[in-house]
Amino acid sequence: MSTQSAIQEKYGAAARAVTQTSVAACCDPGLRCCDPITKNLYGAGEKDLLPENAVLASLGCGNPTALIDLQPGETVLDLGSGGGIDVLLSARRVGPTGKAYGLDMTDDMLHLARENQRQAEARNPGTLNVEFLKGEIENIPLPDNSVDVILSNCVINLSSNKDRVLQEAFRVLRPGGRFAVSDVVTRGEVHPAIRQSMLLWVGCIAGALQEDEYQAKLAAAGFTDISLEPTRVYDIEDARQFLTEAGVAVDEIAPQVEGKFLSAFIRATKPCCAPGCC
């Protein structure tokens, strides 16, 4: 099975679980990600504004909308929008003169997101401008220079072509546009077998980038003002149950895990093309 098919199968099942049973997607045993990666990312004030299933479907590893300044009238694109939580939160901030796009390749997630959109719009008539698009983050179905802010929450780590995703993000951003992404990254040298076990726990099918590598890839795509801010650092206790069940000698590898697997908020800017252009 290709990586893309495996991702669609896994997240399609998570979306169906939320739609059919109203159980939090992160509690699906196949996802193994309930704690501590996806836990307590959003404040009660944010969750109260959203349809219940948008909150239950949350599978991110950060809260990018809380860390970026969004202005009324801006256009936002969320790469791998899942059940739509960050799209709906962004839509409230950019208002009816702005636009919040979500992009996802999994039909069941899009179905869930559009139902969440319908409920959010019914609660807030005329105040949200939202559209969920079907497609791959490696081939964004939007024109060049059409977006002010790219968001993403724990999705780029799933891609087997991260260079292409960053090039596409750069292409669709307007000059001066901002990249504001939560993602899992690794820090420093990690033994390949340990890296593989930990990334399986995190759910990074195609592997997380090392933090310097992420910044280098952003620079290679043309971004400037690049920064990476850790938001959660995971330790061996977080992964103990999963790794033990997978037959890993947890206490032996513990010293090599500490401080090396983290969620981070990654910012970058598409530079202006000429003085005064933005």
Ligand X SMILES: C[S@@+](CC[C@H](N)C(=O)[O-])C[C@H]1O[C@@H](n2cnc3c(N)ncnc32)[C@H](O)[C@@H]1O
CB of 25 vs ligand X, minimal distance in Å: 8
Residues that contact ligand X, how many (by CB under 6 A): 23
Cβ nearer to ligand X, comparing 37 with 253: 37
Interface residue with ligand X among 55, 89, 150, 155 (CB under 6 A) is 155
Cβ nearer to ligand X, comparing 153 with 215: 153
How many Å apart are CA 28 and CA 31, to the nearest integer?
Answer: 5
* Helical ranges in the chain per DSSP H: 3-21, 44-47, 52-56, 64-67, 85-94, 107-123, 162-172, 192-202, 211-221, 236-245, 250-257
Q: Measured at the alpha carbon of residue 236, what is the angle toward residues 235 and 239, in degrees to the nearest 5?
A: 105
Interface residue with ligand X among 76, 137, 149, 184 (CB under 6 A) is 137
Give the C-alpha distances (Å, rounded to integers) separating 268 from 30, 59, 170, 224. Answer: 33, 23, 10, 6
The verdict on 59 binding ligand X (CB under 6 A) reads yes
The verdict on 105 binding ligand X (CB under 6 A) reads yes
The verdict on 172 binding ligand X (CB under 6 A) reads no
CB of 126 vs ligand X, minimal distance in Å: 26
The verdict on 238 binding ligand X (CB under 6 A) reads no
Cβ nearer to ligand X, comparing 108 with 211: 108
Confirm if 124 and 98 have CB atoms less than 8 A apart. Answer: no
Collapsed DSSP state (helix, strand, coil) of residue 135? coil
The 8-class DSSP code of residue 124 comes to S
Residues in contact with ligand X by the rule CB under 6 A: 7, 11, 58-60, 80-83, 85-86, 104-106, 109, 136-138, 153-155, 158-159
